[in-house]
Amino acid sequence: MNFFASPWGTVDGQDVMIYTVTTENGLEVSFSSLGAAMVAMRLLNDENERLNMAYGLLRPADYLKADYYPGVIVGRYANRIAGAKFSINNQLFSLSANEGQNILHGGKIGFSHRVWETVIFEELNGVCMLEFHLKSPNGDQGFPGNVDVWVIYQVTEDNQVSISYRAVTDKPTHINLTTHGYFNLGGFNTDVLDHMLRIDADHYLPVSNDLIPTGEIREVNGSPFDFRKFKAIGADIDLVEPTYDHCFVLNNPTLENPSVALYNPKSRIGLTFYTTQPGVQLYSPIRQPAVTNPMIRLPEKGNWAVCIEPQHFPNAPNVTHFPSTLLLPGMEYNHTTILTITVGGVDGWR
- The model's pTM is 0.97
Residues linked to residue 260 through DSSP beta bridges, in sequence order = 199, 273
Q: Is residue 114 within 8 Å of 151, Cβ to Cβ?
A: no
Amino acid identity, position 130: L
Q: Within 10 A of 194 (CB to CB), how many other CB atoms are there?
A: 15
Q: What is the DSSP string of 276-300?
A: SSSEEEEE---SPPSS--TTSPPPS
**How confident is the model over 108-119, as a mean pLDDT?**
98
Q: What is the pLDDT of residue 350?
A: 55
**How confident is the model over 189-210, as a mean pLDDT?**
97
pLDDT in tens, 231-274: 999 999 989 989 999 999 999 999 999 999 999 999 999 999 99
Q: Is residue 230 within 8 Å of 207, Cβ to Cβ?
A: no
Q: What is the pLDDT of residue 46?
A: 72
**How confident is the model over 173-178, as a mean pLDDT?**
98
**How confident is the model over 192-200, as a mean pLDDT?**
97
pLDDT in tens, 20-30: 999 999 999 99
Helix (H) or strand (E) holding 244: none
Q: What is the pLDDT of residue 74?
A: 98
Q: What is the mean pLDDT of the chain?
A: 96
**How confident is the model over 303-315, as a mean pLDDT?**
98
How deeply is 179 buried, as exposed, middle or buried, from its count of CB atoms within 10 A (0-12, 13-18, 19+)? buried
Q: What is the pLDDT of residue 97?
A: 98
Q: Is residue 246 within 8 Å of 205, Cβ to Cβ?
A: yes
The yes-or-no verdict on residue 113 having pLDDT over 70 is: yes
The rounded distance, in Å, linking the Cα atoms of 320 and 303 is 34
Q: What is the pLDDT of residue 25?
A: 92
In degrees, rounded to 5, the angle at the alpha carbon of residue 311 between the alpha carbons of residues 53 and 44 is: 15
Pick the closest to residue 7 from 114, 115, 111 (CA basis): 115
Among residues of the chain, what percentage have pLDDT more than 70?
99
pLDDT band at 35 (very low <50, low <70, confident <90, very high): very high
The yes-or-no verdict on residue 349 having pLDDT over 90 is: no
Cα dihedral 86, 37, 41, 240 sign: positive
Catalytic site residues?
A: 180, 309
Q: Structural domains in the chain?
A: 2-343 (2.70.98.10)
Q: Within 10 A of 146 (CB to CB), how many other CB atoms are there?
A: 15
The yes-or-no verdict on residue 36 having pLDDT over 90 is: yes
Pick the closest to residue 326 from 93, 36, 37, 72 (CA basis): 93
